[in-house]
Structure formats: C-alpha cells, structure tokens
Amino acid sequence: MAKRSRSHSRSPSLDGTGSVSSTTVNLATPPPERNKLLDCGPNILPEVMHCSLPPHRETLSFASYEDYEVHYLQAHVNRCSECSKNFPTGHLLNLHIEENHDPLAAAMRARGDKTFGCFVENCERKCSTPRKGGCI
C-alpha cells in the first residue's frame, strides 16, 4: 500500500451543525512573530552565551554575543597548548612554542645555531640570545 502525499489543506471536519467544512492553511505566510525575550526588568540582562572552555573552572555567562566574542578573542585565541599561556598574536605564540617547547629548536640551540626569532612579524632575523628581541 503506497503512502499518500500530504496536501496543503486540512482534512474536512464536521462543525457543530453536522455539515462538512474545510479550512485551508496558507503556508507562504509565516506565523506572526512573537517576542522571544521576556521582560526581566531594567537590572536583569538575559544570558545569551556561555563559555565552558578551558582554563575556566566554572561556566562564564555573557549578556551579548559581542561580550562573548571579546572574551573569546582575549582568553582562547593564541593560547599555547603545552603551558596554557595566552599571547596577543599568532606570531608571538609561534615564537613562544619554538623557543620553549620545540625539541628540534633546542637541539639547534645546543649546537650553537641562532634560533630566537624577531618579535617584529615580518622580520626573518634570528638571534643567539632571547634577550636581544631582534629589531625591537
């Protein structure tokens, strides 16, 4: 037995008089929009976003997506996976990983090679000591 396709109108129903009436549903018109936010008063802001990413011990709540985005960029982008330190740019994060967690760079440093990169993003200069900082 084959299934019938669903039509755009409801099946006829009996009204109180015993006669058959049919009602059609217009699917092109969206239902009236409801206000999804409750009026919580002037002092209570609804929680829009939550953050439970490491290194937070408890879930943080934010009143707007913009607040959450600022938090995410400051606390979770450019974070070292080894020691959980946070850096302002990806370049400084890469320098940190190379200088502190890369065994190949440590072997090159022990051999006497210059492995400490410049803090300036487009500079390719390497130094033998971390304190020089390249072009800075």
pLDDT at 103: 95
Token pair belonging to 128: 């033998």
Provide the residue count of the chain.
Answer: 136
Is pTM, for the whole model, over 0.75? no
Look at the chain and report how many structural domains it folds into.
Answer: 2
Mean pLDDT over all residues of the chain?
Answer: 77
Please check whether residue 7 lies inside any domain of the structure: no
Mean pLDDT of 42-69: 81
The predicted-structure confidence for 7-28, as pLDDT tens digits, reads as follows: 665 555 555 555 555 555 555 5
pLDDT band per the 50, 70, 90 thresholds, residue 104: very high
Q: Are residues 133 and 97 in the same domain?
A: yes
Pair (71, 98) in one structural domain: no
Residue-number span of the structural domain to which 68 is assigned: 45-77
